[in-house]
Structure formats: structure tokens, C-alpha cells
Amino acid sequence: MGEIDDVIAVDPLIWAHHRAVKLAGGIPFSLDGRKYLVGLTGHKVSHIKKGSQVGATTLKFLDAVHGCVYLKYTQNILYMMPTVKAAEKMSKVAFSPILNQNGWIKRMVSNDSAGIKTINGRSILFVGGQQESVSDSRAKDCLQLKSVSADVVLRDEVDAMEDAVVEMSKQRLNNSLQRIEGNFGTPMVPGFGIDALFESGTQNKWQIPCGSCGSYTCLVESFPRSVLLVDDKWRRSCLNCGAEIFVDNGDWQPDFPDRREQSFWISGLLSPRADLEEYMHRWNHTKSDYAVVEFERSILGRASIESDCQLGVHDVLTMCQPEGMRTAAHETCQGVDVGEILHVVTGIRTGKDKYRILHIGEFGSFQELSVFNEKMGVKYCVIDKGPDIHGVKAFQDAEPYRVYRCQYSENQMQKPNFDRKTGVVKCNRNEVCDNVHAVYTGEQIILPRETPTIREYALAMTKTAKVTDHHPDTGQPKTRWVKLGDKNDHYFHATGYFMLACSQTPPIRHEGRTTNRIKIRSRHYV
């Protein structure tokens, strides 16, 4: 028994399997049919994108309890979920049964509250990952992460957590010698959240060898060709010869073995409880875009969005006309998104919800933009309110035309509110993004002729998509626009700001008309 004792002291899965650790409902944990879970623990940084009910979350539960039982850590284990309620519910529904169903573990427990499980003198803390406003300022903080030190941070459904909260949680590891991080969840949007983290890591995929021809098949990458109907029965099949293949014969193979962070892709096709007949029926007969998206996310563990919620490059480039970009004009409107550089969209309103963009470009400073705007005859400008890394307020105060700083909100119900006194326009973020999407899909906008800059703009316009989340407690759906991939969505928002600026002017029916130019006062930046 000495050898097996040494093994179970190191490996949480062998421990749980050998000791038949009981889960919710008194069901003992078993590795039978779940060999794919082996190898997912013991990494300094790991990312698991997964389908639903594949056992990965249970693996994290067991790993955390095992770490307490065998005193693997000297500090806390943080288990994070998107909200406090979701974290406490997970604690009660999933962790408490492990303690209550296993008397030998229960005897080690000194605290079994919703927020803290203390086992053998080590604590698992359940925290919500939402931010809260600090006083009356715009600053936000995650108070549950204050004054907590940890050796391990586990982030469950990381897609629903804000980047700032993820970064805050990393700071809880600053006093740790182990610094273990685990991110996992069902992917939502391509290039975002757990999907992006998977792509940044080793990209381990479960490769199954064929007993007939010896070739390997990754079920999820080659789906639906990897599931074939043979003698009225659906079976996992070799992509090369079609012979039946078996999950437990496979192993994890990384596409990028030299990368520092380990990442894994677990689809529902691997699960011993996978109902292949049901899956293939749904795949072959589902007509709803939403149902297809949910199948890809929940069963395949593949990030997906509804096709009508994201602009394509073609949607943008088809709006190009023969005329090139302008370098001078009269009475234009402008949108500016502030980042390391300024992304600027300048043009005019030509009718009700119709627009013509005259110039698209990047500027390194507000001084440079100011010179350009004088030539373009800018009359109204809407600019990102923050972060004020270039001096947004100074630019607003110095320019001779009307400049509004835009303050986004996801809760504002009324139309955009332009406050001349404060120089701020408050508007609903989702509504602004909806309008940008609508003018392109409705072909109500004109672009200059296609150039490398316009192609870059078109690509950037595809980096924002609309997704539907469900509240973790109520299940109520909520739509929101999110950044994709490299998150370079500056032009998308600059276009939205441009359209907001245009809402303050009447349509210009005939370009080139004589106008009374605004008297330019001196510009001064601090």
C-alpha cells in the first residue's frame, strides 16, 4: 500500500478514484471512461475550454479538496465565479456534498460556510468576480479580493469576468511560492475569454489512434465527419478509414509543446455519457441559429456566435465608392476612440440614419488631430471619455467647435443625452453598437474607395460581436457587445461616436456647398 499511498498523495484523480470519493448524490468518482481528465492537473498555469458536463469542473473541486487534505499549500485557494451568488451556490451544490458524503473528509472540516470551506487547516474561499463602484468616482474595485492571499486561483466561467477582476485576482498570488492559476469554462465568443486563453497556450487536443490504420483523430476538430452512422448506430470514427475508435485509447497531444502555459480542449464528444444519437439529430435537424450556436458551445466546447451579430469584412468593403479619402471638407462630424493612439472617423450625415465617411485614420496626438480637423471643418466631435491618457479634457477645452466626451452605460434606457454644460454625452453602449451594425447591414453608409487603410478598418470592424449571456442566478438572457480576438475594436467605437456626433446636425444633401466657417480661436494644450 505504500506505493499507492505515495501516488494518491500527489495525484488528486488517482486519490479520488482509489478512495471512491463520493460526489453529489453519493455517487463515487471514477475515472472509468474519463481517462481524458488525467493530465489536467499539476500545472502552474492552465486553461481548459470545455463543453458542458464533461467532468472538468468536478476535477477542479477534487483538486482543491485534495490540496487541503494533503497540505499542498500554505495559503488559501480562491475559487472564483462571475458573481457572489453563483460562487455561493456552487459552494453549496458541489463542494458541500463532497464534505458531507465523505465522513473521513468531514472530520477534517472546521468551517463549512457558503463562502469558506476550511479543511485540515487550509481554506477554499468562494468569491464573486464582479466589480463595485468606489465612492462617487468612476473607479471600480472587487472588494471580495481585498486582503486575501492565495497559492491557487481558480476562475470558473472566466468569459463572464471582467479583465480588471482577472488582473486583480493575480495580485492575490504575489506572496506565493507556487502561484497556481487555472482558468476554465464553456467558450462563448471566438478569440475572447477562455477561447483566447486556449489559443495562447499549448493547445492540447485529445487525439485517438485508430486500431485499423494507425492514424489519429481529434473528434471535435473533425466533427461531424468523426461521428458516422453504421448499422443504424452512431459511433466515433477514424477520420481516415472510418473504423470505430475509442476515447480511452487517446492521449493529450499539444500543437505548441514549448509554450509556458498549458491549455486543453475538452468536448462533450469525449464524455462517457455522450448521447451520440441525440447529438447528431440535433446537429442535422436544428434550424435555429441560436440552437446551432448553443450546440457548438455546450457540446463541442467551440466558441461561436450567431452569424447576424458580427460584421464581416465583406459587409464593410461593399460600402466603398470610387472616391478616395478627403483631406479637406466643410461642416463635418467626427468620432474619436482613445487608446495608445487615436482612431478617428470623420464624415457627414446625408439623411435619416444615413452617413458618408470622408476620412479614416490614426493620429499620434491631439495636436496632430487639431491641425487635421481645421482642414476638415469639423463642427461636432464625440470622443471617448476615458482613459484620459492623451488629455481628452484639454482637447475639448481648446477646440473651437463642439466636443462631447462620451460616457457609455449598459443600463441607460433613454436616448443619448447631450449635456452642453458638462460637455458629456451619456448613452447606452449596446444601442450605439446596434446602430453601427445596422447602418452596415442596412447599407446606409458610404466609405471611400478601398485602400490598405480601409481594409484595416474593415477588419477592425469585425472585432466586435453581440452575444447573449444568461444571468447565473435567474437564467434571464442579456445581450451585450464584446471585443473579439486581439480586442482591436477602436474603429468600431469611433464609428459609433461619429454617428452620435452626426445626430447633432441636419443632413447635408449637397456636398461642397458654401458655408459660414466657424471662427477659429487659438488652441492651447496642457
What's the CATH code of the domain at 398? 3.30.420.240
Examine residue 346 and state whether it is found in any structural domain, yes or no: yes
Crossing angle of helices 289-298 and 276-285, rounded to 10°: 150
Examine residue 231 and state whether it is found in any structural domain, yes or no: no
pLDDT given at position 475: 63
Mark whether 156 and 39 lie in a shared domain. yes
Mark whether 477 and 382 lie in a shared domain. yes
Q: How many structural domains does the chain have?
A: 2
How far apart, in Å, are the Cα atoms of 208 and each of 203, 237, 396?
Answer: 16, 10, 61
Examine residue 106 and state whether it is found in any structural domain, yes or no: yes
Q: Which amino acid is at 308?
A: D
100 in the Ramachandran plot: left (φ > 0), alpha (ψ -120 to 50) or beta? alpha
Mark whether 102 and 197 lie in a shared domain. yes
Examine residue 31 and state whether it is found in any structural domain, yes or no: yes
Examine residue 458 and state whether it is found in any structural domain, yes or no: yes
Examine residue 347 and state whether it is found in any structural domain, yes or no: yes
Q: What are phi and psi of 53, to 5 degrees?
A: 60, 45
Examine residue 60 and state whether it is found in any structural domain, yes or no: yes
pLDDT given at position 516: 37
Q: What is the pLDDT along the chain (526 residues), one digit of tens a residue?
A: 466 777 788 899 999 999 999 998 889 999 999 999 999 999 999 999 999 889 998 999 999 999 999 999 999 999 999 888 888 888 888 888 889 999 999 999 998 888 899 999 999 999 887 665 444 444 445 556 667 899 999 999 998 887 788 888 999 999 999 999 999 999 987 777 899 899 999 999 999 999 999 999 999 988 999 999 999 999 999 999 999 999 999 999 999 999 999 999 999 999 999 999 999 999 998 877 778 888 999 999 998 876 567 888 888 999 999 999 999 999 999 999 998 899 999 999 999 999 999 999 999 999 999 999 999 999 999 999 876 656 899 999 999 999 999 998 877 777 899 999 999 999 999 999 999 999 999 999 999 999 989 989 998 898 888 877 666 556 677 777 877 765 578 999 999 999 999 999 998 865 544 333 333 333 444 3
Q: Which amino acid is at 387?
A: P
C-alpha grid cell, residue 510: 449637397
Mark whether 413 and 484 lie in a shared domain. yes
Mark whether 190 and 328 lie in a shared domain. no
C-alpha grid cell, residue 127: 468569491
Segments in 228-365 forming alpha helices (H): 276-285, 289-298, 313-317
pLDDT given at position 387: 64
pLDDT given at position 143: 57
Mark whether 125 and 261 lie in a shared domain. yes
> Are 306 and 295 within 8 A, CB to CB?
no
Crossing angle of helices 429-441 and 490-502, rounded to 10°: 90
pLDDT given at position 520: 36
Mark whether 325 and 407 lie in a shared domain. yes
Mark whether 138 and 44 lie in a shared domain. yes
Question: What is the domain range of residue 395?
Answer: 313-502
pLDDT given at position 340: 84
- What would you report as the CA-atom Rg of the chain, rounded to the nearest whole angstrom? 27
CATH number at residue 167: 3.40.50.300
Mark whether 197 and 345 lie in a shared domain. no
Mark whether 260 and 336 lie in a shared domain. no
Examine residue 285 and state whether it is found in any structural domain, yes or no: no
**Three-state DSSP class for residue 304:** coil
C-alpha grid cell, residue 465: 460581436
State the Cα–Cα distance between residues 101 and 89, nearest whole angstrom.
18
pLDDT given at position 142: 55
Mark whether 17 and 72 lie in a shared domain. yes
- pLDDT single digits (tens) 192-250: 789 989 999 999 999 999 999 999 999 998 899 999 999 999 999 999 999 999 999 99
Mark whether 36 and 94 lie in a shared domain. yes
